[in-house]
Amino acid sequence: MKFYTSIPNALRPYFKKELEDYRNEYSNGNLKIAWRHLERAHIIGQKYPFAHSFVHWKMLQFGIKIKSVKEITGQIPRLIFGGVKSFVGKIPVGNPGGANVPALQPFPIEKELQEIFNKAGISLK
């Protein structure tokens, strides 16, 4: 069994860019676009426990900010168990991480994100 820890250097700039774009859109009140950047950060970082948990923490904060009981209650178990699942390599690849989708359902990865993984030499299998 392969254990995953921190996000590889080849992916880190993309992950950080999504989080930066999230912060910018969030502070400008563009909540829908901000959320999309969190979902993209989730997909990029979900294989790596610290990155994965951090995005769920940001999603929980977002749920609190918009007063969404569904998002808050959906993020708590994801925050608790998501990093553990990443650590042992058991993630639903492509899952955007929000409470609006089943936590364990894999999703197709959009072309732009797939190209990021390819450039970074990261296999999602």
Q: Does residue 69 belong to any structural domain of this protein?
A: yes
Residue in the structure block whose two tokens are 């178990």: 77
| pLDDT higher at 113 or 89 | 113
- How crowded is residue 15: how many other Cβ atoms within 10 Å of its Cβ? 22
Q: What is the pLDDT of residue 112?
A: 95
Residue 7, in any domain of the structure: no
Tell me the per-residue pLDDT of 59-88, one tens digit each, with 9 for 90 and over. 999 999 999 999 999 999 998 888 778 877
DSSP 7: P
| Number of separate domains in the chain | 1
Q: Which domain holds residue 81?
A: 12-120
Count Cβ atoms within 10 A of the Cβ of residue 39 and give its class: 0-12 exposed, 13-18 middle, 19 or more buried: buried
Query: Is residue 3 a part of any domain in this protein?
Result: no
pLDDT at 119 over 70: yes
Classify residue 53: in a domain, yes or no: yes
Asked if the structure places residue 58 within a domain, the reply is: yes
Question: Residue 124: its pLDDT value, please?
Answer: 77
Alpha helices of the chain — where are they, by DSSP H?
12-27, 31-45, 49-65, 69-87, 111-120
In this prediction, residue 3 has a pLDDT band, given cuts at 50, 70 and 90, of low
Residue 92 in any domain: the answer is: yes
Sort residue 103 into left (φ over 0), alpha (ψ -120 to 50) or beta.
Answer: alpha
Q: What is the mean pLDDT of the chain?
A: 92
Question: By three-state DSSP, how is residue 22 classified?
Answer: helix
- Domain annotation covers residue 45: yes
Does residue 125 sit within a domain?
A: no
d(CA 109, CA 92): 11
Q: What is residue 53's predicted lDDT score, i.e. its pLDDT?
A: 93
pTM equals 0.93
